[in-house]
C-alpha cells in the first residue's frame, strides 16, 4: 500500500515562542482512515493545521521537519494550493456560511477548481447522494440547520474540492451519538466507494476504535504511541492517554 502522506518530525510554535507540537511524525497509507487521538491540548488540531498549512493563519510556524504529500513537500505552500492538490481540512466547529443556503455553501467549495456548470451540477449531485439530508435542505439557510446537518455540510463542502485526503477535526463534537455514528458511516462509505483517505482527530474513543484502521496517540504535543487502533484500545494505550481513564 503506497504512502499518501508522510509527516516527518515537525515542530510547531505559535507567536514565535509557544511550542505546540514537537517532533510529530505520522504516515497515512492510500485509502486508510487514520485516527489522531489524545486529550484536549495534546496537539491534535495543531498537527492537522500544520499538515493543511492553515497554521500560518493563526500566527503559527513550522520550525522544523517536513510534510510530504504524494511524494512532494508541501511545506510553506499556500493553503489554497494544497487544497487544489487534493488535501483539504474540515475545521473544528463546522465553519459554514450561516447566511448562505446549503447549496450556496456547497458551491463555494466547488468554485476552487473552476468547474464548468455541468461539472458543478454533477459534483452537487454526488454530495446529495452521500448526504440526502442536505438535498432536502438545499434551499435552507445553513444557519437554520441542525448541528449534525452543519457538520455534514462542512464535510460536503470539503468534498466539493475533489480531494484525495480529508482532515477532520473533532467531527463528532457536540453531536448526538446517533448523528456521530451516521457521519462516521459516511466516512467509511466514502473510503469504500471512492478510495478517499482520512485523518480524523477525535475524542470519541468508541468511534475511533470501530471506524479507523490506524491510530496515533498524542500526549504533551508528541506521538506517544501508534499502531492498529483496535490493538491500541485492547492494550489500554488509548485509554491511558485520556487522563488515565478506563473505558469499558
pLDDT at residue 64 in the model: 96
Is pLDDT of 244 > 60? no
Query: Exposed, middle or buried by CB within 10 Å (0-12, 13-18, 19+), for 159?
Result: buried
SS (H, E, C) the chain: CCEEEEEEEEEEEECCCEEEEEEEEEEEECCCEEEEECCCCCCHHHHHHHHHCHHHHHCEEEEEEEEEECCEECCCCCHHHHHHCCEEEECCCCCCCCCCEHHHHHHHHHHHHCCCHHHHHHHHHHHHHHCHHHHHCCCCEHHHCCHHHHHHHHHHHHHCCCCCEEEEECCCCCCCHHHHHHHHHHHHHHHHHHCCEEEEEECCHHHHHHHCCEEEEEECCEEEEEEEHHHHHHCCHHHHHCCCCCCC
Q: What's the Cα-to-Cα distance from 220 to each of 75, 94, 129, 247, rounded to whole Å?
A: 23, 26, 41, 21
pLDDT at residue 142 tops 90: yes
Q: Which residue has the cell 486529550?
A: 39
| Cα atoms in the 13 Å half-sphere on the side-chain side of 98 | 8
Kindly tell me if the per-residue pLDDT of 243 is higher than 70: no
| Mean per-residue pLDDT over the chain, rounded | 93
Does residue 190 carry a pLDDT above 60?
yes
How high is the pLDDT of residue 248? 38
CB-CB contact of 165 with 199 (8 Å): yes
pLDDT band at residue 247 under the 50/70/90 scheme: very low
**Rounded to whole angstroms, how far apart are CA atoms 231 and 227?**
7
Task: Report strand pairing: 60-69 vs 222-228.
Answer: unpaired
> How much is the average pLDDT of 38-53?
93
Contact 154, 166 (CB under 8 A): no
Distance of CA 101 to the CA centre of its chain: 23
Task: Classify residue 160 by burial, with Cβ atoms within 10 Å: 0-12, 13-18, 19+.
Answer: buried
Whether pTM > 0.85 for this model: the answer is yes
Amino acid at each position: 500500500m503506497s504512502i499518501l502522506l508522510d509527516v516527518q518530525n515537525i515542530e510547531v510554535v505559535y507567536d514565535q515562542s509557544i511550542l505546540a507540537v514537537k517532533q510529530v511524525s505520522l504516515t497515512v497509507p492510500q485509502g486508510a482512515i487514520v485516527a489522531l487521538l489524545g486529550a484536549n491540548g495534546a496537539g491534535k488540531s495543531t498537527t492537522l493545521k500544520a499538515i493543511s498549512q492553515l497554521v500560518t493563519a493563526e500566527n503559527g510556524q513550522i520550525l522544523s521537519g517536513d510534510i510530504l504529500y504524494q511524494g512532494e513537500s508541501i511545506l510553506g505552500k499556500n493553503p489554497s494550493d494544497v487544497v487544489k492538490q487534493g488535501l483539504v481540512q474540515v475545521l473544528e466547529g463546522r465553519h459554514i456560511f450561516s447566511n448562505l443556503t446549503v447549496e450556496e455553501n456547497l458551491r463555494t467549495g466547488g468554485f476552487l477548481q473552476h468547474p464548468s456548470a455541468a461539472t458543478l451540477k454533477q459534483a452537487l449531485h454526488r454530495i446529495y447522494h452521500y448526504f440526502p439530508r442536505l438535498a432536502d435542505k438545499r434551499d435552507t439557510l445553513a444557519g437554520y440547520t441542525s448541528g449534525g446537518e452543519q457538520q455534514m455540510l462542512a464535510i460536503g463542502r470539503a468534498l466539493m474540492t475533489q480531494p484525495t485526503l480529508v482532515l477532520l477535526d473533532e467531527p463528532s463534537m457536540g453531536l448526538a451519538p446517533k448523528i456521530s455514528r451516521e457521519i462516521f458511516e459516511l466516512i467509511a462509505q466514502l473510503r469504500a466507494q471512492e478510495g478517499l483517505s482520512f485523518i480524523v482527530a477525535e475524542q470519541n474513543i468508541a468511534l475511533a476504535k470501530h471506524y479507523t484502521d490506524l491510530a496515533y496517540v498524542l500526549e504533551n504535543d508528541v506521538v506517544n504511541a501508534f499502531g492498529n487502533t483496535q490493538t491500541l484500545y485492547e492494550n489500554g494505550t488509548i485509554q491511558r492517554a485520556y487522563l488515565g481513564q478506563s473505558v469499558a
